[in-house]
Structure 1
Amino acid sequence: MYAILDIETTGGKYNEEGITEIAIYKFDGHKVVDQFISLINPERPIQPFVVNLTGINNKMLRSAPKFYEVAKRIVEITTDCIIVAHNASFDYRILKTEFKRLSFDFERQSLCTVELSQKLIPDQKSYSLGKLVRSLGIAISDRHRANGDAQATVKLFKLLLSKDVEKNILKETVKLETKKKVDDKLLKLIESVPSSTGVYYMHREDGTIIYIGKSKNIKKRVTQHFTNDNRKSKNIQDEVSNVTYEITGSELLALLKENEEIKLNRPKYNRALKRSKFDHALYQFTDKNGYKNLVVKKVDKNKKSITTFTNRQQAKSFMHRWTEEFKLCLRLMDLDNSKGNCFNYGIEKCNGACILEESTEDYNIKVEELITVNSFEDKSMMIIDRGRDIDEQSVILIEEGKFIGIGYFNLNHQINNIDILRSIITPMHHNRDAQHIIQSYVRQHKRLKTVLLDKNKINSTE
């Protein structure tokens, strides 16, 4: 199955581009079986030369969905598909970058119709999409718009498939994960680890830990370390003598344990991870009219934040989402700098705090609700997630806003006393990294169950 797509972007610095339009056609090798076409609000200005090229301008995109709003649909339509695009390395990079801003690893196989055309249809004067398809008698309309270019790519790909009778070139062109011969030592280490969620430790012959990582599939991640050919991977391959692991069941617990173990052991090849995993935070202040404002800024260690984010793009995505969820004002969320009422007031998604129509009391209650949901300050709670076995659950304990530790309990055992809960917890250090990991994970995984603790009583707030 193939996902044939085309993407238009804002232009700009490498890896700072945003998507303005996307068209995806799911193709089974014979016909299109699904499609997704949409403008996208990139939340950043479009370069003038791109406006002239595509005809897409900032005004057209104001009411378009943000990327996070269409991300799920993109994941669904491309699942189990090979990404096909004309100059696929560009489109695939842009998609991976957008998903990375949402802290999601988007991984697909990819195939480039430029490379495929050069092999199957040699000696063409040009392999740009427009010139190539016209030379082949393929009609193209809406050039430099996602839908027009994607439709042309579908027709081109059909032609290329028909020319590749033995399917040999197709097989060679698909960009699979790097494969190379792995020596016997590394193969035995790969065989020794499970395909489970947890933390893994790579040791030298003397037992020294040289790398610590976490994964939802330890075997797959270790295999990647042993088949990659970048400098760090090659050094690890040369030095590693043993791999040990600890299954956590929960990805959140794996993240917390990885963070704790790296700080404790300071492995040689984890040095890059010493930097903070986040650089933006959410802060509040009350304006001269008495309204509580929320704003995203660079992390300031001297100021108390509500929650933290991996980067500004991720922060802005959540700010837009919360504005709609809690019916807050774009102006007071620092998302609209226009004069007069904010944009959402005009479409009845803001009650008018921007022009003093909504009372400060009513507005501030909604802001406090958002803060309560996303802040752990002064809270005592436990977060329940999956365990290592089917009859087990994991638990993370937070007391008065501080991360205490992690533990496991049997599904048949009801925890109804704070002292019993503390007795099953393995203590861990509370720090800014651990707090960010928990807040970020809970924010993105609504399925998690949280239970507020009130002395010896437990009130569920799932």
Structure 2
Amino acid sequence: MNDMFKIIEDEKETYVVNDILIESFIDKKFCVFDLEGTGLDFENDNIIQFGAVIVDNKEINNDIYFERFVKPSKLIPKKIENLTGITNKMVQYAGSFDEVFQEFQQFSNDCILVAQCGYEYDFRILSSECKRRNINYGNFMEMDTKILFAHLHPELHDTFSTDFLLNYYSIDVSGLKRHTALNDSIIIAHILVNILECCKNFAVE
């Protein structure tokens, strides 16, 4: 694992960005992804859906996307079914994590992986799923939009949730259903594009 933005988490769950000047990243290729799971316990829960899009040259590639269900080793709780719309029946014949992760690796090849609140959930559960199955996680460069935004705006004090960032950048996502991995990855991609433009203005390279 190769973290571009590392975090230090204290008892108040605040974040510090280290080594932000490692290399120029504004014009690199990004794989923006989101995961849905059986719950929030990244050490024991299972991923049930991958969604990802590509951002290249600060633009979202609408022609290329990744969306896969994953068959979990446990049943999806009813509250998760209600939240995501993903039912046990929908994942009954889905591919295994091993199969889907291999496809995801191919899709995200040569990209920086980007997630919103990734160090709180997505990166952690992805790494945990790999560890549990003795799968090589790879040497992905990782970036968390929440942490990068916090670095760019030290004058702001908030949780920097997805809703906060959407409101801050006046991004209209009314046509996208939330809590599906692909739609959420598209939403995060719009946030990333705005952050990258902000990075350019701030001369963060």
TM superposition score normalised by structure 2? 0.73
| 1:72–1:30 CA distance, 2 compared to 1 (3 A) | same
Instruction: Say whether residues 1:41 and 2:71 are aligned partners.
Output: yes
Q: Does 1:127 align with 2:160?
A: yes
1:332-380 alpha-carbon deviations (Å, 9 max, x no partner): xxxxxxxxxxxxxxxxxxxxxxxxxxxxxxxxxxxxxxxxxxxxxxxxx
- 1:126-145 matched pairs, under 5 angstroms: 126-140=159-173, 141-145=176-180
Going from structure 1 to structure 2, the CA distance change for 1:11 and 1:105 (only over 3 Å counts) comes to same
| CA pair 10-162 structure 1, distance change in 2 beyond 3 A | same
Deviations 1:250-271 (A, max 9, x none): xxxxxxxxxxxxxxxxxxxxxx
Partner of 2:44: 16
Question: 2:130 matched to 1:99?
Answer: yes
Q: Does 1:3 align with 2:35?
A: no
- Say whether the 8 Å CA contact 1:18–1:42 is kept in structure 2: yes
Runs of 4+ with deviation above 6 angstroms: none
Higher helix share: 1
1:114 paired with 2:146, answer: yes
Larger RCO, structure (CA 8 Å, separation 6 or more): 2
Read off the aligned partner of 1:69 and give its amino acid letter. Answer: E
How far apart are the structure 2 equivalents of 1:101 and 1:126?
31
Deviations 1:160-193 (A, max 9, x none): 0001126764x5xxxxxxxxxxxxxxxxxxxxxx
Residue 53 of structure 1 corresponds to which residue in structure 2? 83
How many residues in Structure 1 have an aligned counterpart in Structure 2? 170
Q: Evaluate the alpha carbon distance shift between residue 14 and residue 75 of structure 1 in structure 2; reply closer, same or farther with a 3 A threshold.
A: closer
**Deviation sequence 1:250-304 (CA, Å, 0-9, x none):** xxxxxxxxxxxxxxxxxxxxxxxxxxxxxxxxxxxxxxxxxxxxxxxxxxxxxxx
In the other structure, the counterpart of 1:149 is: 184
Superimposed CA distance per residue, residues 430-459 of structure 1 (whole angstroms, 9 cap, x where no aligned partner): xxxxxxxxxxxxxxxxxxxxxxxxxxxxxx
Instruction: Give 1:119 shift.
Output: 2.8
CA shift, 1:49, in A, is 2.8
Q: Which amino acid aligns with 1:17?
A: D
- 2:59 is aligned, of 8, 21, 31, to 31
- How far is the alpha carbon of 1:92 from its aligned partner? 1.2
Q: Give TM-score scaled by structure 1 length.
A: 0.34
Secondary structure of 1:159's aligned partner:
helix
In the alignment, the residues of structure 2 paired with residue 10 and residue 155 of structure 1 have an alpha-carbon distance, to the nearest angstrom, of 26
The CA distance in 2 between the partners of 1:103 and 1:31, in whole Å, is 35
Task: Map 1:327-366; keep pairs closer than 5 Å.
Answer: none
Deviation at 1:4, TM superposition (A): 0.6
Cα deviation code 1:47-89 (max 9, x no counterpart): 3332232222212211222222222211112222211100111
Contact 1:43–1:66 under 8 Å retained in 2: no
AA of the residue aligned to 1:75: Q
1:152 counterpart SS class: helix
| 5+ residue gaps, structure 1 | 172-462
The percentage of aligned residue pairs carrying the same residue is 26
How much is the aligned-residue C-alpha RMSD, in angstroms?
A: 2.2
Distance in 2 (CA, whole Å) between partners of 1:166 and 1:134 is 20
Bigger Cα Rg: 1
Amino acid at match of 2:130: F
- Tell me if the contact between 2:59 and 2:193 (Cα under 8 Å) persists in the aligned partners: no
Residue number in structure 1 paired with 2:8: none
Distance 2:41 2:101 in 1: 22
